[in-house]
Amino acid sequence: MRIGRHSYAIDYGHLALITFIAALVFWYLLDARSVSLSVNNLLLVQPVAIFALAMYLFIVPQCFHKVEAREAAKPSSENDPFAVSLSTDRADVMRMAALGVSLGLMVFLLDVIGFDIAIFLFAAAAMAICGERRPLHLLFFSLAVTLVTIYGFRALISYPMHTTLL
């Protein structure tokens, strides 16, 4: 994006994240106000929400980088061993997203298909996403994870755990 003489790169992911947070905060503020306008209800929530929205306005410009400045900033972050070094490589991002999706599927299917099947399928999927291609390894390790966790947690917790086969 060009503004005047300068070229700007927009960090859309960051912009989307903070806009989501700001929308969430704004909705929460409206929800709290719709319940009651009493001081006992809004004493903390309202000022903190307004503060969070102010911070959002302060952070938005950080999503726009001058192209030259961005390039110059790269080497310093590479030298910092504790800089957040999440891979931005497309294949890596796809792997992380796939693992996130499979975690979500497992979580929502626990009560539907049973903890045992959901855990087995998730373990196999997660191994495959992380690069395992040998069918026997996929089968036996996923089975081991399922058996150990199901029987282990069943011995530990008092709640009923819905399972289909075990």
Partner 1 sequence: MIDVSAFNEALGIMFSSVGSWGWIVPGLIVGLVFSAIPGISITMAMAIVLPMSLYMDFFSAIVFLTSVYTGAGFGGSVPAILMNIPGSPSSFATTFDGYAMSQKGEHNEALGYALFASTLCGIAGYVLLLLVIEPLADIVLRIGPVEMFAVAIWGMMLLGSLGSTYISRGLLAAALGILLGTVGMNTAGFTRGTLGLPVLLDGIAPIPAMIGLLAASQLLSLASRDYIIEAEGSREVSLRKILKGCWGTLKYPGVLLRGSIIGIIIGAVPGVGSSIGNLIAYAETKRTAKDSATFGKGNPKGVIAAESAVASGEGGSMATMLALGIPGGGATAILIAAFMMHNIVPGPSFIETQKPMVYAIILNNIVQAIVLLAVGIGFIYVASNIMKVRTRYVLPAILVIATLGTFAVTGEAAGPITLFVFALLGYALNRYQYPVSAVVVGILLGRMLETEFLRSYQLSGGNPLYVLERPGAMAIFAVMFISLGMTAWGKRKQNRAEAAEALALRQIQEETRAAHTTPSKG
Residue 121 bridge partners (DSSP): none
Does 59 sit near partner 1 (CB under 8 A)?
yes
Euclidean distance between CA atoms 106 and 124, whole angstroms: 11
Does 113 sit near partner 1 (CB under 8 A)?
no
The only residue of 52, 113, 147, 166 in contact with partner 1, by rule CB under 8 A? 52
**CA–CA distances in Å: residue 149 to residues 31, 95, 107, 161:** 40, 24, 15, 12
Sole residue written with tokens 């957040």 = 84
Q: How far apart are the first and last CA of the chain?
A: 57
Sole residue written with tokens 């307004």 = 50
The only residue of 31, 139, 140, 151 in contact with partner 1, by rule CB under 8 A? 31
Of 161, 143, 162, nearest to 153 by C-alpha is 161
Does 95 sit near partner 1 (CB under 8 A)?
yes
The only residue of 10, 23, 130, 139 in contact with partner 1, by rule CB under 8 A? 130
As measured in angstroms, the least distance from the Cβ of 146 to partner 1 is 8
As measured in angstroms, the least distance from the Cβ of 4 to partner 1 is 21
As measured in angstroms, the least distance from the Cβ of 161 to partner 1 is 7
Does 12 sit near partner 1 (CB under 8 A)?
no
Sole residue written with tokens 């373990």 = 123
As measured in angstroms, the least distance from the Cβ of 36 to partner 1 is 6
